[in-house]
Chain A
């Protein structure tokens, strides 16, 4: 049955993957820079 709620979960999944990816990439960048002599 069509509840009338838009089916757009793909956008949600994309955003929810993107956010930790950016955060982890930045955390890794800080870690690498802190190890640089």
Chain B
């Protein structure tokens, strides 16, 4: 089985398990009293946000290692992680406003967390444009690595923005120094969803990596 086929199976499994997460979230997880059913958007919004952060951190790490080792596999991995991260950032930026409208009364507000997340999405789009604009492989990989490292700095800022600035966005309730502040049923659903999104990320990156490898092989004949 090729890496692309393995990735495809991981994605199919992830999508089926996402259905399982939906069943658990809708039927076996309590409705939050003040926010109502819309609170359950949290079970897809937060895991996709964490997966985006993970994708960008791995993109930056691959960039750092590429600058030292000059291994093209690291560049191909970075390219894959950036594209998949863009997709998950798209999910974050669409599910967030759908939650915000009934809870905040507005689809969008230009506060630090939301604006910096939108900026990350544009930065990831810019990363794809940069890669498409440079034909020289070595130059493309070097410039991309530097931009990937800049994106990691932005992820750190996004994560801390709710502490640094006044914001409508809720404070972290899981990824924080103290214990998660969620009832066990909600925490379990959230953790299962984290697992599914991680599986989907892995499957997508494997498929995208296979495409990047095939392109590189075609380029070199």
Task: List residues of A whose CB falls within 8 A of some B CB.
Answer: 4-9, 11-12, 14-16, 18-20, 22-24, 26-27, 30-31, 33-34
Closest B residue to A13 by beta carbon equals: B37
Q: Interface size of B by Cβ–Cβ distance < 8 Å?
A: 36
Cross-chain contact B91 with A7 (CB below 8 angstroms): no
Cross-chain contact A8 with B102 (CB below 8 angstroms): yes
Interface centre among A6, A8, A11, A18 (most CB of B within 10 A): A11
Closest A residue to B102 by beta carbon equals: A8
* Residue from A5, A14, A15 in contact with B36 in the complex, judged by beta carbons closer than 8 Å: A5
Chain A residue contacts of B37, Cβ below 8 A = 6-9, 11-12
Contact with A along B80-111 (1 / 0, CB 8 A): 00000001001100110011011000000000
B interface: dominant SS = helix
Interface residues of B in 1-56 (CB under 8 A from A): 4, 7-8, 11, 14-15, 18, 22, 31, 33-38, 40-41, 44-45, 48
- How many A-B residue pairs have C-beta atoms within 8 angstroms? Tell me: 85
Cross-chain contact A30 with B204 (CB below 8 angstroms): yes
Cross-chain contact B8 with A31 (CB below 8 angstroms): yes
Cα–Cα, bound, A27→B204 (Å): 7
Cross-chain contact A22 with B200 (CB below 8 angstroms): no
Question: Does B210 make an interface contact (CB < 8 A)?
Answer: yes
Given known contacts A5-B33, A11-B38, A20-B18, A27 and B91 CB-to-CB distance under 8 angstroms? no
Chain A residue contacts of B204, Cβ below 8 A = 26-27, 30
Cα–Cα, bound, A6→B33 (Å): 8
Chain B residue contacts of A31, Cβ below 8 A = 8, 207
Cα–Cα, bound, A18→B41 (Å): 11
Question: Does B208 make an interface contact (CB < 8 A)?
Answer: yes
